[in-house]
Amino acid sequence: MDRKFAGLAGAASLALSLALSGAFAQGTASNGPNDAQIAHIVVTANQVDIDAGKLAETKGSTSEVKAFGKQMVTDHSGVNKQASDLAAKLKVTPEDNPTSQSLKSGGADNVKKLSTLSGGAFDKAYVDHEVAYHEQVLDAIDKTLIPSAKNAELKALIVKVRPAFVGHLEHAKMLQKSLKG
């Protein structure tokens, strides 16, 4: 039973990371997204985590999971306001692109799946996804978004929010450990 569950969980997380790496698999620095697309990716990536966080605020079964969900809503909303303000200042209109679309549909799938779960199963699925998601977002920040960003202020904003995402990942991993224990 345990082994079967572990196998299923492993398969699920593999599928998730494949889907996420697909979402971010857009080119290298030379043929990566342009600044308008990067702005759109940043806003979409934050929004996806806000949507999941809202669900965790209400459906989380422990105060820690609820608080983490609430923090994700607050933090990613703060980052998005900054990103939107910067885009407006730079007169950049965020441009939809395949990476954003993939992120959006992945986020919708996650919310759909989480909606069917409750109690400990919800907590585990939400936190596992948060760990994988932040890992993939950090990977995209390092390999695609920062190297591709042309505008110095846009690049600086991404560099500046990166440590917060590392913090979210560490926090999510701590939660993941406590849920197992």
Partner 1 sequence: MSLRAILLAVVAAAALLATEADAATVAGAAVGDGATRTPKGVTHTIVIDGSRFEPASLTVARGDRIVWMNKDPFPHTATAAGVFDSGPIAAGRSWTYVARSAGSHAYLCTLHPNMKGTLAVR
- CA distance linking residue 165 with residue 169, whole number of Å: 6
| Pick 124 or 168: Cβ nearer partner 1 | 168
| Signed CA dihedral, 121, 55, 24, 74: sign only | negative
Q: Does 134 bind partner 1 (CB under 8 A)?
A: no
Out of 9, 164, 177, 178, the only residue in the binding site for partner 1 (CB under 8 A) is 164
Q: Are 75 and 168 in contact (CB under 8 A)?
A: yes
Answer yes or no: are the C-beta atoms of 36 and 95 closer than 8 Å. Answer: yes
Choose among 77, 97, 106, 92: nearest CA to 155: 92
User: What's the min distance (Å) between Cβ of 159 and partner 1?
Assistant: 8
Piece of the chain touching partner 1 by CB under 8 A; list 31-39, 45-53, 69-77, 104-112 = 69-77
Q: CB of residue 47 vs partner 1: minimum separation in angstroms?
A: 15
Cβ atoms within 10 A of the Cβ of 79, count? 22
Does 128 sit near partner 1 (CB under 8 A)?
no
**For binding to partner 1 (CB under 8 A), which residues are involved?**
71, 74-75, 77-79, 81-82, 159-161, 163-164, 166-168, 170-171, 174
